[in-house]
Amino acid sequence: DFLWLGAGLLLLIPPIIAFFGQVYRYRRISTPEQRQQTKWVLYSLAVILLSLPIITILTPLFLPPDVQTLLEFHLGFLVAIIIPLSIGVSILRYRLWDIDLIIRRTLIYGVLSLLLVLLFFSGVVLLQQAFRAFTGQDSPVAIVISTLAIAALFNPLRGRVQEVIDRRFYRRKYDAQKALAEFAATARDEVELEQLTEQLLNVVQETMQPEQVNLWLRPARPSSYLGIEDEN
């Protein structure tokens, strides 16, 4: 019994540390947005912290074995699923961990890896066939050439894959990046202040879609400012 009690107390140490660490971060460090993101995880840790003493200490001392087994099964199942559920709620409702960015990068690098593997093995097979046709045997040079080709293709292919995925699944982000790139190219050659200001306001409206835009330009004299306003 004492060994069981000691083991139960040891099992309580990790969730206690995690719980109070999250409480400290929630109260002292997190921003209001981060508190919204992590509160469900904090609640789930509190439930686990309350459930573990019941599972590991109280049920063996006060309940018959059959009831103890049934209660431990249900509480153990609750403890096992509550953390994934709380993280899922935080991700879907409060954008915990910026899941869109994770999904986007997973898509980009997953497709990129698949393409690079296919290109590598295709290059090796084709080059080996060419070497066999000319020399009658395989050559390790085929692997070296394929590896160098993959290294050279990595960045261009990544850019192309990213462009296709952004255009297909993240259209708004793709359009915003395209508008910013076009404005940057135009701003280098534009010398008229009014034209540049109009283009800047159009880019802000297109990419951020605010209700109102205010632009202050500082003239040569620091004592006054020129205000330019654009409203929807």
Inter-residue contact 214 to 227 (CB < 8 Å): yes
Strand partners, 216: 227
- SS3 state at 230: strand
What is residue 98's DSSP assignment?
A: G
Inter-residue contact 38 to 83 (CB < 8 Å): no
Averaged pLDDT in 10-residue chunks for the chain of 232 residues: 57 70 75 71 76 67 71 73 76 62 76 87 86 80 84 86 78 64 70 71 68 69 50 50
Cα(47)–Cα(83) distance, integer angstroms = 10
Cα(184)–Cα(166) distance, integer angstroms = 20
* pLDDT given at position 224: 46
Q: Which two tokens stand for residue 141?
A: 């040079």
φ/ψ bin of 209: left (φ > 0), alpha (ψ from -120 to 50), beta (otherwise)? left
Cα(212)–Cα(208) distance, integer angstroms = 10
Return the C-alpha torsion angle 83, 97, 168, 116, nearest 10: -90
* pLDDT given at position 225: 46
Give, for 216, the enclosing helix (H) or strand (E). strand 212-217
Cα(101)–Cα(89) distance, integer angstroms = 17
Give the residue from 22, 88, 76, 68 showing the smallest Cα distance to 51: 76
Q: Give the start-to-end residue ranges of the domains of the chain.
A: 2-94, 100-169, 173-231
Q: How far is CA 17 from CA 8, 22, 23, 40, 79, in A?
A: 15, 9, 10, 17, 17
Q: Which two tokens stand for residue 76?
A: 């153990």
